[in-house]
Amino acid sequence: MNFVDRLDEAASRNGSLLCVGLDPDPALMPEGVGVLDFSRAIVDATADLVCAYKLNLAFYEALEEEGFEALKGTVRHISGGIPVIGDAKRGDIGNTARAYARSLFDNLGFDAVTVSPYLGRDSLEPFLEYEDRGVFILCRTSNPGAVDFQSLICEADGRRPLFQVVADKAEQWNEHGNIGLVVGATYPEELRTIRQEHPDLPLLIPGIGAQGGELSLAVRYGVDRHGRRAIINSSRQVIFASSGKDFAEAARRAAIALRDQMRQACP
Amino acid sequence: MNFVDRLDEAASRNGSLLCVGLDPDPALMPEGVGVLDFSRAIVDATADLVCAYKLNLAFYEALEEEGFEALKGTVRHISGGIPVIGDAKRGDIGNTARAYARSLFDNLGFDAVTVSPYLGRDSLEPFLEYEDRGVFILCRTSNPGAVDFQSLICEADGRRPLFQVVADKAEQWNEHGNIGLVVGATYPEELRTIRQEHPDLPLLIPGIGAQGGELSLAVRYGVDRHGRRAIINSSRQVIFASSGKDFAEAARRAAIALRDQMRQACP
């Protein structure tokens, strides 16, 4: 089954647009809990509430050997057909991109990854060739600096901001039907534009909660005409809902609340 | 001492613009040699011939635990003040970028890293805050797909291609004097333009050899007015000069030849 079908199925089965982001920052984690145990406990507490998980590689890499083991162990631990996205934002030339793709898809076993578009099509090909995996191309990121380059007006099929040109190219390059886009909830108008212009692409939407994006707009502007294909990520609000021993139960409560708010916001 | 001074000193001491790129691809490595032993042997054979080393993280990551150990061991093994560049091309939002910066600078001990500009200034800040480390921002990459976005004409101080806008911003953001640019030798005219417009920035120049960039143009267009600050990378041509037991001696011979060609090409 291809990635988009797996995503649709998980979202439909759990009735959820929520993607729980695993960003295990030791400064915010409950004391005395290892990163693998932490990640597994969050997964166990939320597996029936999500359409996907997103693992942020930076936080695992920062923990060296322990983090590397936890990364592998967490991906393996997620079962039941829930897609697991490796948030790696890689982007490099051909033979290097191939090594990253092998690492993320073959070794670590991710169902999808995030990639950066700056190097162009041939830097994405090694990922896209894994036809059953998803490839989310950074389009409009959720951070303030997104405006520095992504908003530049470019001469391409008329005058269009760079992030829209990236989305146009992504659509053109989507021969295997495995491309999605990353569009931040912190830019709702841009999200709306991207969804209007690309009615079928899965959108990975970070930025609600701590970053200030509004959940209801992320849902309303992010979903396709069937109310699907918006993968709305929440990391800190769920996984650090409590810093005590009840962190997993607190994560479950937070995930239920978010799932329900997303359902209500769905047009 | 800051990064640029360390770079100038190493280049001057070894009389070399050559950066040896460590891309340990198991398919091309001599049989029966582990990746740490391979990397250390290449370093031992070339340490008096280079201005820097560049480690390509993708190839180490693809080797999982062994690769991770080799990455750390190789950085530690490089001594004598030769700068070590972590070619990671990371780019992510604030708290994630901080985790990557910690991982690359604090844990792994790189003197400099490569980063992707697509997410804008705040995604680079966590790296730039390490004032004694170098930060090479992707500007014009060496691959064919570089044209897809980097050549787009943007409205920014007139009409300028995106890669020049990136370079302009890099110069503006260079408060700590620790920014450099990545400009591929496969685009000599673009390299010449960037050097003319940014006379003092260190340029990391991949793309000679296997990728087809011409060494003499990379030198001529890449150096500053003192014949410095062009870090001209060669990976495969040096490290895979022989696939036999004599790989280290062959790497040394290849590095000497390249260093000498670069000297001769220096205007």
Q: Tens of pLDDT along chain B (267 residues)?
A: 899 999 999 999 999 999 999 999 999 999 999 999 999 999 999 999 999 999 999 999 999 999 999 999 999 999 999 999 999 999 999 999 999 999 999 999 999 999 999 999 999 999 999 999 999 999 999 999 999 999 999 999 899 999 999 999 999 999 999 999 999 999 999 999 999 999 999 999 999 988 899 999 999 999 999 999 999 999 999 999 999 999 999 999 999 999 999 999 998
CA distance B240 to B88: 21
pLDDT score of B216 = 97
Active-site residues of B, by number, are: 89
pLDDT score of B210 = 84
| pLDDT tens-place string over residues B140-149 | 999 999 999 9
Q: Residue A76 phi/psi, 5° resolution?
A: -60, -30
pLDDT of A68 higher than 90: yes
Complex prediction ipTM: 0.97
pLDDT score of B122 = 97
pLDDT score of A34 = 96
pLDDT score of B157 = 82
Task: Look at the block and give the residue holding tokens 């070399």.
Answer: B16
Q: What is the CATH number of the domain that holds A253?
A: 3.20.20.70
* Residue B235 C-alpha, separation from nearest chain A C-alpha, in angstroms: 12
* B150: chain A residues, CB-CB within 8 Å: 118, 120
> In which domain, by residue range, is B82 found?
3-265
Percent of chain A exceeding pLDDT 90 equals: 97
* Chain B residue whose CA is closest to A145: B120
pTM of the predicted protein model: 0.98
User: Of chain A residues 147-176, which have a CB less than 8 A from chain B?
Assistant: 147-150, 152-156, 159, 162, 165-166, 169
Q: What is the mean pLDDT of chain A?
A: 97
Cα–Cα distances (Å) from A242 to A29, A35, A58, A207, B162, in that order, read: 9, 15, 22, 20, 44
* A59: chain B residues, CB-CB within 8 Å: 96, 99
* B142: chain A residues, CB-CB within 8 Å: 93
| pLDDT (mean) for A127-145 | 98
Chain A touched by B28 (CB under 8 Å) = no
Cα–Cα distances (Å) from B101 to A244, B98, B109, B139, B198, in that order, read: 28, 5, 10, 20, 26
pLDDT score of A210 = 84
Number of domains in chain B: 1
| pLDDT tens-place string over residues A16-30 | 999 999 999 999 999
Chain B touched by A192 (CB under 8 Å) = no
Interface-testing mutation among A25, A72, A93, with chain B (most B C-beta atoms within 10 A): A93
Whether residues B100 and A61 touch (CB distance < 8 A) is answered with yes
* A24: chain B residues, CB-CB within 8 Å: none
Q: Are B213 and B186 in contact (CB under 8 A)?
A: yes
